[in-house]
Structures are given as structure tokens and as C-alpha cells.
Structure 1
Amino acid sequence: MKKKAEDEKPYYIEKCPVIRALDILGGKWRLAIIWELSHYESIRYNELKRHLCGITNIMLTRSLQALEQHGLVERKEFCQIPPHVEYSITESCKALLPALEIINEWGKTRAELIKNQL
């Protein structure tokens, strides 16, 4: 039986680690979510949402689910009154943080260059 076209990934995604990583981390909010979670041991959903200005509930939920599916975010449910959920990054995700630090510094430098050009 033939696979559906949408199930098939292009050759370069399977062979190139950078493309594979960007496929996991891509999107407007995933890196921002990881960056924000990295500042806390764990954080509740609504608190995380307040730190991510402009994100919708659906986008935050979907992004967290995708990151959890890839093993980068851990979701912990607390069965108490009222019930709540906390999110944190996994050990696997912590290996990504040095790269995010470099991107953060690069972004600051670029912002300064643009500011000085005005």
C-alpha cells in the first residue's frame, strides 16, 4: 500500500541534522517557549502564557504538545483542588540551551546594530 503524500518526508529532512532540528524547533513560538521555560524549574500554563506576549491559547497548547511529543518539554499534572499542570524542560532540552544563548547574544548584537543605524 502506498503512503500518503503528506506522510512522506523529503529526503533532505531525513539526512540533514540541521533540517531535522529545525523541523522540531521551527515555528514562531517553540524556541520562545523553550527559552522561557529554561528560566524556571517548572511553570504553570497561565504563567507561561503571560510571559509570551501575543500567543493564543491554541498555539501555546499545540506548541507544548509538539515539544512534549519530541521529548523536550515535560508536563506534570497535579491532582489536587484546584487541579493544575506545570511544564518544565527535559534534560534533553537542556543540551539545546547553549545554542539558544548564542542566538540570544547574536539577536542582541543585531538589535544594537539596527538601533545605531537609525
Structure 2
Amino acid sequence: MENRMVPEERMTAQACSGHLASVEDAIYVIGGKWKLKIIIVLQESGNIRFNELQRKVEGISARVLSNELKDLELNGFVKRVVHAEQTPVVVEYVSTDYSRTLKPVIGALAEWGKTHKIKIKEEMS
């Protein structure tokens, strides 16, 4: 399975710089070991409580999950829903509409990851 690159038009230095800055901004917001995993679980699970989210994102500590959720909430990817009318108070997390704009990006990354894994396995054998 060989993918041949189709030559693309060369970018101007200014366009390239802008492109790199945009990619850097995106990676800053969703990069790291946990953020995309959390976003994916939230998109697939709907409303989910903290402990259940921690179980589904295997290997993450409560402290790291808490920090990542705060960061994702600040960037508009996660909404924290507090049900204060219940005793004890129930806190759930849900992905936002803005978070769901990442679905095509996540799908493309998943497809690329699958293709890359196959490529590496073929090269090793």
C-alpha cells in the first residue's frame, strides 16, 4: 500500500508562518497525553460523572483529570453541570457543541493512526 504525494502549490512564507501558528494553537489546546482521550470519552458517553470518566480514561490520576477538565472547560470543550438540587450534589461533565467540531479532526487522526500502524508493521516484517 503505497501513498504517493501529489505535489501541492508552494505556500508563501507568510502563509506558511500563519499555517504553523494555527497548528501550534490547535496542538496547544488539544495536545498532550489526555485531552483528546477525555474529549472522545465525553463525546461517546454524553453526561458522565468524574469517577466514571476516570475509569474510562485508563491510567489518568484524579488530579490530572481534574486539571485537564478545568483546562478543557476554559477552552469551551467541556461543560460542568452541577445538580445542586440533589443530595449529595451531583456533578457531571458533558462535551459542548464546540467540542463536537473536533469530530472530523479526531476521525482523520484515527484513520491516519490506523494507516500508520499498518505501514510500520509492514516495514518491520
TM-score normalised by length of structure 1: 0.80
Matches within 5 A, 1:57-76: 57-76=62-81
Q: Which residue of 1 aligns with 2:41?
A: 36
Q: Which runs of 5+ in 2 are unaligned?
A: 1-16
Letter in 2 for 1:37: L
Kindly provide the amino acid, as one letter, of the partner of residue 90 in structure 1: T
| 3-state SS in 2 of match to 1:111 | helix
Q: Tell me the TM-score normalised to structure 2 length.
A: 0.76
Which of 82, 85, 101 is matched with 2:91 structurally? 85
Unaligned runs of 5+ in 1: 1-11
Q: Are positions 1:110 and 2:110 aligned together?
A: no
| Alignment match of 2:101 (pick from 76, 82, 95) | 95
Name the structure 2 match of 1:3: none
Please identify the structure whose Cα radius of gyration is greater.
2
Distance 1:107 1:84 in 2: 37
RMSD of equivalent CA atoms: 1.9
CA displacement at 1:115 relative to structure 2: 4.0
Structure-1 residue corresponding to 2:52:
47
- Give the CA deviation at 1:27: 1.4
Deviations 1:13-61 (A, max 9, x none): 9x82111111111211001110111102211111111011110001100
Distance in 2, Cα, partners of 1:54 & 1:29: 10
Equivalences, count: 106
Please state whether the residue corresponding to 2:93 is helix, strand or coil. strand
Is the partner of 1:101 in helix, strand or coil?
helix
